[in-house]
Structure 1
């Protein structure tokens, strides 16, 4: 009997430990406003049927990995039928790609994710379709076809000055937007490339189709929200007000179905262009965060990022106080973070420290938590996840021969779990700290105003009666800093950082978090 009582006590202690962070606070789910979202490319995640392609059942099998990491939601890159590997050119908006599984399996995935308190967000690609979509195939048949006006068509002589334009934008290296289908004198518009013809949102029938698609995924399938691809390009760049108005209408239609629907937009531009989208897209990706983080390391100038983040947040606050700042350190379009940081392990661990101690709702790209590698072209940034050593990895996808992430270059997850200093265990620790400290998750950002060595990044996070001071050394030379008055409880330290009397000492690429 006594033995059973001891076992119960131990079990209670273990449960309590699992529910509290390093600071002793309870782990909380702050999604969507400040929670952590994990981005997954199903094709490369986990393969359960041996065809070399990751699948929905594989994600279900690995949901506990997402939960263990500390993520509150999953964003899936495109899952709908498509002729391409990346699936950003949709042929059917109300199904999943057969390589991935069935719609019923996806509904089961949502059910299992929700059991674990993990939300599901899917990529919604509505700026364009595939040129193999039934709508586009119909639109090509004649100028009188009912679907002709679903796309943007023009006679060759009316667009002669635009056919061979040589403009490259931040989010597209396509140098030609008007495309010849190979017959007649009519061209069609495709911002990204000829295989992705743009839909015509001046046509109310197109808008109604899109709203119906959104309702389908929210009502019938049960997703929690959408990541809206290419949100800046619904209308041409010289019609930004029309873009803003469309997204306000889209939000209204989706909230009528699901009042708490999560909408995060990809508006790849500077804050002045991004901010006016907030009334329609309450969450927007912060591209400035990604690029300024890398710039801070290149210049060994710590406060560049802290000042930029403060500037962006204050700018958005002037427009609305109901915005979600979707921060990220890498994604499926940029080289893997470890490559961008010169394959320096200390920098990679510190970069996640920065992301998780800054304001915002951070996104993590699958595989970053095990230090996966990858460079352009894009398919090599999206290589298969390494769950175990190759000989034991029954679920490793094989759809592509990897160039960068292999057993020889990346330690698989199964091995990292047993290594106290592994990337995975580091990611899990810092995410847990964020999830268990309301100041780090929800607090406002205040910059350190005292004298500071150039490589140091120092800021306060303040929420109600919680005050936290965060410092990072972005150089390979040890730095020192005087401890602000009243800050005496170390919540987290990395890279040998610590305190000595009244000073904080920060070895190369180290971080420290101190609470008041």
Structure 2
């Protein structure tokens, strides 16, 4: 069985020049050669900010860069035709393509409506702070630029459970819409703020059966138009898990396709609620391992004070590896973003070794670590910051080792708080497979580990080039594998 790897093919600050789809199209064959098997693309639909929108501010799900709406035809990433061509190119190169979909909320409504609401307490959304009252809310979406093409469905206040702006008074608050589907929020698993159904903008009302049916129709249209292989599901902790059970079952049944799905249930310190979500969705959806990313962040900050032996404790990859998508960074955790929790540069190669060269989990590589990024934005301190994220040295080597060498039984040597290691013994399917990995947060040292008799007499070298010596595996399969301070070494059979 092959090792599979996903790439997140964007970062938050990717230039709004309409080039991303063509960039992926042109680089898809190289990505396959590097060892990638799947690519997650950002939202393709038009956002409320037009050609500068990331897509996470959904305006029109049917506008993939085809209609003159919100000040542009194309999206931030390109046109509809370019999006479709990029997917085709990726698939022809042998890549699975996952499309990011954002169904929790919508923004940029075309008309205001008079809506009956009750204001809620932000810290306890279940607590009403007002009696029912009327406000003017931006809740009517008619999509005049599209003119009913593909769908004539009009979204109005009955399609939303909450808003955060009263246009008549220009006041911002969290308002629960009082409609026929309930005066309170929908049931969600996350109990932060009492109930975390409401996240932002106009919150979609999944108790409305017309909404659910329209989103099924849209899902059919999206697949028949673009032909993606799976989905990344945004903000699922703010949605009733039964909706995605219904939605995915509908598409998988209609097209007799698996449609791989991975959800963003970002709960770095609440593994229990992630397991609850997996139970509620009965294993239909994989989840990003937010607790593991948080462990990487802490380890990179605490250095030798962090006990590396515990790095997988209370993580999804440890407790449910079949549904864990492991990662080091994403567009929300990168510098200056909403969930900023950036892993320090020195630890990033170590973290990638921990997700790429072990048996468990489905690793997802972040765009900036492969390509590098530069941008400027305002931080929480109110000051502008110039950010440079360099292309991560050694990442392509780690990808090579994952695809060609890191196979076979895994034996862990998690026996020192500042230095851990493991071996992959190799298998019969991959001729030169088998490697030893040492991760160190302390001083230079070495770790004695057993590769197995099948490697006896073989000469091993550090593929990352951090240690320049050669090691001969002893007749009993053991060897001492060096590693430099705050570094990682990947030892495998020397190639001619």
Residues 38 and 365, structure 1, Cα contact 8 Å, conserved in 2: yes
Q: Does 1:458 align with 2:421?
A: yes
Let me know the Cα RMSD of the aligned residues: 3.9
Higher relative contact order (CA 8 A, sep 6+): 1
> Higher helix share goes to which structure?
1
> Which runs of 5 or more structure 1 residues have no equivalent in the other structure?
1-27, 144-152, 165-176, 236-242, 318-322, 380-400, 411-421
1:294 to 294, 297, 306: 297
Counterpart in the other structure of 1:505 = 482
Q: CA deviation at 1:508?
A: 1.4
Encode CA deviations 1:378-428: one digit per residue, 9 max, x unaligned. 89xxxxxxxxxxxxxxxxxxxxx98223xxx85xxxxxxxxxxx845x221
Does the residue aligned with 1:122 lie in a helix, a strand or coil?
strand
Q: CA deviation at 1:161?
A: 4.1
The within-5 A match list for 1:363-382 is 363-372=364-373
1:228 to 223, 227, 233: 233
Counterpart in the other structure of 2:93 = 116
Number of equivalent positions? 397
Counterpart in the other structure of 1:266 = 264
Q: Does 1:70 align with 2:35?
A: yes
Q: CA deviation at 1:372?
A: 3.8
> Which runs of 5 or more structure 2 residues have no equivalent in the other structure?
66-73, 131-161, 178-184, 186-195
| Distance across 1 between alignment mates of 2:437 and 2:56 | 39
1:93 to 61, 67, 72: 61
Counterpart in the other structure of 2:319 = 315
| Distance across 2 between alignment mates of 1:70 and 1:124 | 25
Residues 335 and 387, structure 2, Cα contact 8 Å, conserved in 1: no
> Higher strand share goes to which structure?
2
Does the residue aligned with 2:202 lie in a helix, a strand or coil?
coil
The within-5 A match list for 1:107-506 is 107-132=84-109, 137=111, 140-142=112-114, 154-156=117-119, 161-163=127-129, 179-183=164-168, 187-188=175-176, 196-235=201-240, 243=241, 245-256=242-253, 257-269=255-267, 270-278=270-278, 279-299=282-302, 300=304, 301=306, 303-304=308-309, 306-308=311-313, 312-316=316-320, 323-335=322-334, 340-344=342-346, 347-358=347-358, 359-372=360-373, 403-405=386-388, 410=390, 423=392, 426-437=394-405, 439=407, 447-448=412-413, 452-461=415-424, 468-475=435-442, 477-484=443-450, 486=452, 490=460, 492-494=462-464, 495-496=466-467, 499=471, 502-506=479-483
| Distance across 2 between alignment mates of 1:377 and 1:423 | 24
Residues 474 and 508, structure 1, Cα contact 8 Å, conserved in 2: yes
TM-score (norm 1): 0.66
| Distance across 1 between alignment mates of 2:37 and 2:378 | 30
TM-score (norm 2): 0.68
Does the residue aligned with 1:105 lie in a helix, a strand or coil?
helix
Q: CA deviation at 1:198?
A: 0.8
| Distance across 1 between alignment mates of 2:386 and 2:39 | 26
